[in-house]
Structure 1
């Protein structure tokens, strides 16, 4: 069982500017704060971006909180093979499951469209499907925060 998500984020900037933003540690730090991270660490080595953050789980249903706790550690690694395409892996250390997919940047009108596609898989009998849906919803919320932060970043 797995849950797939697709999210599009339009930016009013050329592909090169969006690609540079996505590998800028300062931008990633802003995104962590916008997502409400309790603590975080961002590293960029070449075209590999690693974000290690702890997010509060307030509002998470009780069946899921038993598994993830009051805070959960999320590690996101993006490997950009080209300035316009990257592979994404998201893990929750010590918990069963992962998210994998890609981000693609394409010119769109006078700007850029970033499309993120991820597949969420949780290997827990009985509640895995519910957790996949919950995680997919949380990922969409995080991507929306990243998009808002990106619009502000690119407008400076």
Structure 2
């Protein structure tokens, strides 16, 4: 399932990319977001114009789950996420793994704009479970959309420091 989301941000692209390439931003963000616990940075590196961070946390879904989904997804799921950025071009990629769940979740990202930037996410959610895969993809996409607004609000709040 493919869909797009856009975050409107209240500073220029250079400030947004500075924030997106700061380990401290991720630590503050995931320690603040509701439904996230046990956040841990696994890897983080900044080399020239390239930034990459890989982290793990326990995350709760923000939408009601039908019984079939509750059997696949627990109340909290172990999420391993990697964000990579080319800071020169403002192009990034987000890859998410839910441990023990046959889902592939990714988003291509593009930051641009002045005086206020936006981050456009082109999401792709796919599930290999026969018959139920499409329904689970839709539920995960709905959960991403439900979390998106809170993520944008918090990112704008944290952006004040950059």
**Using the alignment, how far apart are the partners of 1:36 and 1:30 within structure 2?**
14
CA displacement, residues 40-79 of structure 1 (integer Å, 9 cap, x when unaligned) = 1134211002231111247322211101122111111111
Q: What is the number of residues matched between the two proteins?
A: 153
| Maintained 8 Å contact 1:23/1:44 | no
Asked if the contact 1:37–1:55 (Cα under 8 Å) also holds between the matched residues in 2, the reply is yes
Structure 1 counterpart of 2:59, from 55, 69, 88: 55
Q: Return the alpha-carbon distance in structure 2 between the equivalents of residues 40 and 125 of structure 1.
A: 32
Q: Distance in 2 between matches of 1:97 and 1:150?
A: 26
What is the RMSD of the two structures over their aligned residues, measured on CA atoms?
A: 1.7
User: Structure 2 length as normaliser, TM-score?
Assistant: 0.86
Give TM-score, length-normalised by structure 1: 0.89
The equivalent of 2:106 in structure 1 is: 100
Distance in 1, matches of 2:79 and 2:102, equals 12
Residues 71-112 of structure 1 deviation map (CA, whole Å, 9 limit, x = unaligned): 11111111113341111211112210111221100114x110
Match of 2:125 among 94, 100, 120: 120
Unaligned runs of 5+ residues in structure 1 are: none
Structure 2, unpaired ranges of 5+: none
Range with bigger deviation, 6-15 or 36-45 = 36-45
CA distance in 2 between partners of 1:144 and 1:57 (Å): 14
Counterpart in 2 of 1:82?
87
- Please list, as runs of the form range in 1=range in 2, the aligned pairs for 1:1-156 lying within 5 A after superposition: 3-32=1-30, 33-42=32-41, 43-46=43-46, 47-57=51-61, 59-83=64-88, 84-108=90-114, 110-156=115-161
